[in-house]
């Protein structure tokens, strides 16, 4: 159930065509233009191959783990094979579990719910809110927020000092991003994992912005868990993944109580019920599984593996260089960075322009040029404030400011497989023209 198509106009990888490249959108200045989707970091378009695989399976859709009929058996087999495909894609260890969730946010909240009592959590203020916020929702969990580092080495040193100083010495978890959803900069994951383990802590990798752009091998990075979303990985069908060590997950109460998570349920003489829960991934997958979402993620994993990440990475770096060079030539543009100009990035860049509100600029790019980008603080408010030097109480949200006011924010451009040269060239030209002449 897979199809390979060849696109035109040089997408990032010819074997990985995406839906939507022929969509026409209206311009405020009149006429229509092909839509330039440059907001991959929010939700990437679906791969044509993923769409075709899902369409081919759809007539055979049935209940998972629930029925004896042929379609139920087929769907169950498809669901469990998707789990195996994802495990292979992530380089999981033999005893790791792969749990299908709704998203990265859901995955990290699941892990937060599974933490042993009195776990200490260490997280940099630079994280996306999905990785920054779940931990304090648990009673008895102490969270240490670490200041934004300005070099990869400083990130490792900061973590080591914090872990060494913790008291009492009990279970600890480090949560870190693989690539920033604001700057695109790649974090020193392997070094952070080594620091965590040297101090008796475990580490979870938020790979939402990393896994679509380069290989993520759980065993090689030596992280304990990895979380990501299908909608970042060209599979926008409502599914995500938490993969990694089984013990904390197996010992925790089910994330949701219900069918599928329970192995047996019996009535007690006192009128209550006794439940024996599954110890496998099913323990945290209560309810009817999203087999289409899981299959879509597996399809995307196969597509990227078949195309080869070397090709994907090389082409994407061409586009990163193209955008950075173009923006550097425009007066008043500042690209945001934690680690400096030499930092390695995935296809995500954020910037500000002197004299422009980010929402106004994003709106002009859409209305006058048919370009879709993101503006605001990107669900990473502390990081953007740190990068822009904003005060903790300075107004900051998506949307244009009220008359006479100002709003802290930036513009983000992001891309991936399927992005043609013309889209990034149009973007750079549009920013140059808007800065020079203003919005029409």
User: What residues act catalytically?
Assistant: 379
Q: Residue 249: helix, strand or coil by DSSP?
A: helix
Nearest to 89, CA basis, from 319, 294, 345, 348: 294
Contact between 113 and 261 under an 8 Å Cβ cutoff? The reply is no
DSSP state of 18: B
Burial of 34 (0-12, 13-18, 19+ CB in 10 A): middle
Output b/e per residue, 369-396; b: 16+ Cβ within 10 A.
bbbbbbbbbbbbbbbbbbbbebeeeeeb
The widest CA-to-CA distance across the chain, in whole angstroms, is 80
Residue 18: phi and psi, rounded to 5, are -120, 160
DSSP state of 148: P
Cα atoms found within 13 Å of the Cα of residue 256, Cβ hemisphere only: 17
Residues linked to residue 185 through DSSP beta bridges, in sequence order:
345
CA distance 302 to 309: 11
Task: Locate the DSSP E strands across 12-133.
Answer: 24-26, 32-34, 36-37, 97-101, 120-124
DSSP state letters, 165-197: T-SS---EEEEEESB-TTT-BBP-HHHHHHHHH
Nearest to 348, CA basis, from 145, 128, 162, 191: 128
Contact between 126 and 159 under an 8 Å Cβ cutoff? The reply is no
Q: Residue 6: helix, strand or coil by DSSP?
A: coil
Contact between 222 and 247 under an 8 Å Cβ cutoff? The reply is no
The length of the chain in residues reads 440
Cα atoms found within 13 Å of the Cα of residue 3, Cβ hemisphere only: 16
């Amino acid at each position: 159930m897979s199809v390979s198509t060849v696109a035109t106009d040089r997408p990032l990888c010819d074997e990985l065509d995406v839906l939507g490249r022929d969509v026409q959108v209206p311009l405020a200045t009149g006429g229509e233009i092909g839509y330039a989707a440059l907001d991959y970091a929010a939700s990437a378009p679906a791969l044509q191959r993923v769409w075709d695989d899902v369409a081919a399976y759809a007539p055979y859709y049935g209940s998972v783990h629930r029925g004896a009929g042929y379609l139920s058996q087929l769907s169950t087999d498809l669901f469990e094979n998707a789990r195996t495909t994802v495990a292979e894609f992530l380089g999981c260890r033999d005893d790791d579990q792969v749990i299908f969730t709704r998203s990265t946010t859901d995955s990290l909240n699941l892990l937060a719910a599974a933490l042993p009592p009195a776990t200490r959590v260490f997280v940099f203020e630079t994280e996306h809110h999905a990785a920054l916020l779940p931990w304090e929702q648990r009673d008895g969990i102490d969270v240490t927020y670490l200041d934004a580092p300005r070099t990869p080495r400083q990130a490792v040193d900061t973590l080591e000092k914090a872990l060494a100083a913790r008291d009492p010495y009990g279970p600890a978890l480090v949560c870190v991003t693989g690539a920033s959803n604001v700057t695109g900069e790649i974090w020193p994951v392997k070094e952070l994992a080594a620091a965590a383990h040297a101090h008796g802590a475990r580490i979870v990798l938020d790979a939402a912005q990393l896994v679509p752009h380069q290989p993520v091998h759980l065993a090689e990075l030596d992280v304990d868990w990895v979380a990501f979303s299908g909608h970042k990985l060209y599979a926008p069908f409502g599914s995500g993944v938490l993969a990694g060590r089984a013990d904390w997950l197996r010992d925790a109460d089910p994330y949701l109580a219900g069918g599928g998570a329970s192995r047996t349920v019996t009535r007690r003489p006192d009128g209550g019920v006794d439940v024996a829960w599954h110890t496998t991934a099913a323990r945290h997958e209560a309810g009817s599984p999203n087999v289409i979402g899981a299959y879509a993620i597996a399809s995307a994993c196969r597509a990227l593996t078949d195309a080869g990440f070397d090709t994907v990475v090389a082409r994407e770096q061409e586009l990163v260089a193209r955008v950075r060079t173009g923006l550097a030539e425009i007066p008043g543009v500042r690209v945001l960075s934690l680690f400096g100009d030499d930092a390695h990035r995935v296809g995500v860049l954020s910037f500000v322009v002197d004299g422009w509100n980010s929402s106004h600029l994003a709106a002009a790019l859409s209305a006058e040029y048919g370009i879709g980008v993101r503006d605001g603080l990107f669900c990473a408010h502390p990081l953007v404030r740190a990068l822009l030097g904003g005060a903790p109480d300075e107004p900051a949200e998506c949307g244009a400011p009220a008359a006479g006011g100002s709003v802290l924010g930036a513009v983000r451009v992001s891309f991936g497989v399927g992005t043609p040269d013309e889209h990034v060239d149009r973007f750079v030209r549009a920013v140059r023209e808007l800065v020079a002449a203003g919005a029409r």
